[in-house]
């Protein structure tokens, strides 16, 4: 198949999933055309089946905000038309699904039919999409897509709860490439961070409020009162300054390191003993799956689709959002000498169920069904 993939090319989970999906499809012989405003961060190599089309966003003094959606729709029209695409797969509803609808109508006028699959990732539904400033457009473009997928059962339910959806939504969970995300030998790194054999806790995120990074710091503070431990915080975002101040207030600066944005996060995960994800909302929790693939147990909140990934008491523990005390107790339980090895083994076993080789064929089947029906 010739498939156009539209996504946010940034560090966010939806862009990562879209890029990895495109790379996986290209590997098995499909021709993949990425249409984005800049090169996706994990697409920095050559492959004969991968193409990248940059959206030209022309500025003009009259525009306070350049009309990205129009430039994107125009680019979709030209890529579908000249590259003879069979299908467009847009990741994240806003504004990709409505831009795809516009492109589809323009192409229809020219006698070209292009089916559109929209994948819902989370915040496009649970945070931004349901806001009255976007809701009518999101509802319309979901209903008008030829196929719609959601990354968890919970996100599917939320979509029906908040929008007037008149069509089926297929759940296709996120996935991981276990050939990249695997425990690596990085003992020297562990020695440098934890010279006295401290337990190593890790959190990675975009440091937005919804990730509750403050809970990470507070849980760590409580854990460190009981056992020698260190915390690595990977990523950057609006809450980082506040978190640095909190660490100073709590007197934990010597045991917490802010690593900023990292490409090779698997190297850090390879030496971790516990991954923390106390999010307020999380449709799936791709970062937790990346940790599990590196044999790291996960301590999470019960938000959104996380309990579909984290099996309480097996791959880690699931706690109520904001329950610091319970999180501390569960963290200590996981980190105890008698439990840790089993949790690590279970985390990897669970991650294997989400290997790209299991999930990619589900997208291919879904594309085929959508093309046949459309």
Binding stretches for ligand GMT (CB under 6 A): 12-14, 17, 92, 121-123, 126, 151, 174, 206, 208, 210, 281-286, 304
Instruction: Give 218 or 281: the residue with its C-beta nearer to ligand GMT.
Output: 281
Provide the Cα torsion 256, 335, 276, 255; round to 10°.
0
CA angle 64, 70, 76 (to 5 degrees): 145
Residue 7 CB, nearest distance to ligand GMT (Å)?
9
Contacts within 8 Å (CB) and 24+ apart, 356-360: 356/20, 356/24, 356/175, 356/176, 356/177, 356/178, 358/175, 359/172, 359/173, 359/174, 359/175, 360/21, 360/24, 360/25, 360/28, 360/175
Residue 126 CB, nearest distance to ligand GMT (Å)?
6
Instruction: Give 142 or 194: the residue with its C-beta nearer to ligand GMT.
Output: 142
CA angle 283, 311, 362 (to 5 degrees): 55
Residue 235 CB, nearest distance to ligand GMT (Å)?
10
Residue 8 CB, nearest distance to ligand GMT (Å)?
7
Of 295, 292, 332, 331, nearest in space to 308 by CA:
292
| DSSP structural state of residue 312 | B
Instruction: Give 14 or 370: the residue with its C-beta nearer to ligand GMT.
Output: 14
Residue 277 CB, nearest distance to ligand GMT (Å)?
9
Q: Can you tell me which residue has the tokens 């699904």? A: 97
Instruction: Give 119 or 252: the residue with its C-beta nearer to ligand GMT.
Output: 119
Instruction: Give 208 or 317: the residue with its C-beta nearer to ligand GMT.
Output: 208
Q: Is the dihedral of CA 369, 370, 371, 374 positive or negative?
A: positive
Let me know: does 217 contact 246? Beta carbons within 8 Å. Answer: yes
Residue 176 CB, nearest distance to ligand GMT (Å)?
11
Residue 207 CB, nearest distance to ligand GMT (Å)?
10
| Separation between Cα atoms, residue 246 and residue 234, nearest integer Å | 16
| Separation between Cα atoms, residue 282 and residue 314, nearest integer Å | 20
DSSP E strands: which ranges in 224-290? 229-234, 256-260, 274-277
Instruction: Give 12 or 40: the residue with its C-beta nearer to ligand GMT.
Output: 12
Instruction: Give 50 or 151: the residue with its C-beta nearer to ligand GMT.
Output: 151
Residue 300 CB, nearest distance to ligand GMT (Å)?
11
Residue nearest to ligand GMT (CB): 122
The radius of gyration of the chain from alpha carbons, rounded to an integer in Å, stands at: 21
Instruction: Give 123 or 141: the residue with its C-beta nearer to ligand GMT.
Output: 123
């Amino acid at each position: 198949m010739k498939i156009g993939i539209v996504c946010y090319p940034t560090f966010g989970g939806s862009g990562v999933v879209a890029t990895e999906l495109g790379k996986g499809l290209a590997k098995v012989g499909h021709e993949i055309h990425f249409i984005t405003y800049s090169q996706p961060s994990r697409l920095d190599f050559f492959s004969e089946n991968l193409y990248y089309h940059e959206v030209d966003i022309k500025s003009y003094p009259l525009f306070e905000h350049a009309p990205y959606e129009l430039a994107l729709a125009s680019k979709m029209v030209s890529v579908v038309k000249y590259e003879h695409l069979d299908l467009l797969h847009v990741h994240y509803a806003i504004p990709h699904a409505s831009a795809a609808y516009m492109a589809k109508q323009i192409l229809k006028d020219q006698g070209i039919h292009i089916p559109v699959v929209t994948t819902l990732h989370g915040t496009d539904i649970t945070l931004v999409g349901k806001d009255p400033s976007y809701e009518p457009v999101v509802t319309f473009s979901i209903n008008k897509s030829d196929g719609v997928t959601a990354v968890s059962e919970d996100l599917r339910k939320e979509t029906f709860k908040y929008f007037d959806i008149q069509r089926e939504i297929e759940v296709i969970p996120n996935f991981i490439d276990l050939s990249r995300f695997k425990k690596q030998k990085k003992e020297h790194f562990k020695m440098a961070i934890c010279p006295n054999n401290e337990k190593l806790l890790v959190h990675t995120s975009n440091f937005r409020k919804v990730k509750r990074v403050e809970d990470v710091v507070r849980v760590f503070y409580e854990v460190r009162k009981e056992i020698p431990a260190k915390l690595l915080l990977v990523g950057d975002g609006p809450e980082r300054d506040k978190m640095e101040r909190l660490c100073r207030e709590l007197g934990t600066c010597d045991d917490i390191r802010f690593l900023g944005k990292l490409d090779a996060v698997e190297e850090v995960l390879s030496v971790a003993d516990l991954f923390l994800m106390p999010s307020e909302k999380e449709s799936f929790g791709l970062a937790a799956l990346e940790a599990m693939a590196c044999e790291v147990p996960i301590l999470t909140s019960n938000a959104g689709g996380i309990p579909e990934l984290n099996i309480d008491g097996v791959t880690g523990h699931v706690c109520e959002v904001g329950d610091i005390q319970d999180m501390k107790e569960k963290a200590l339980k996981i980190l105890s000498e008698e439990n840790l090895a089993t949790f690590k083994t279970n985390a990897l076993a669970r991650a294997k169920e989400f290997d790209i080789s299991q999930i990619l064929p589900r997208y291919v089947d879904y594309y085929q069904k959508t093309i046949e029906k459309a």
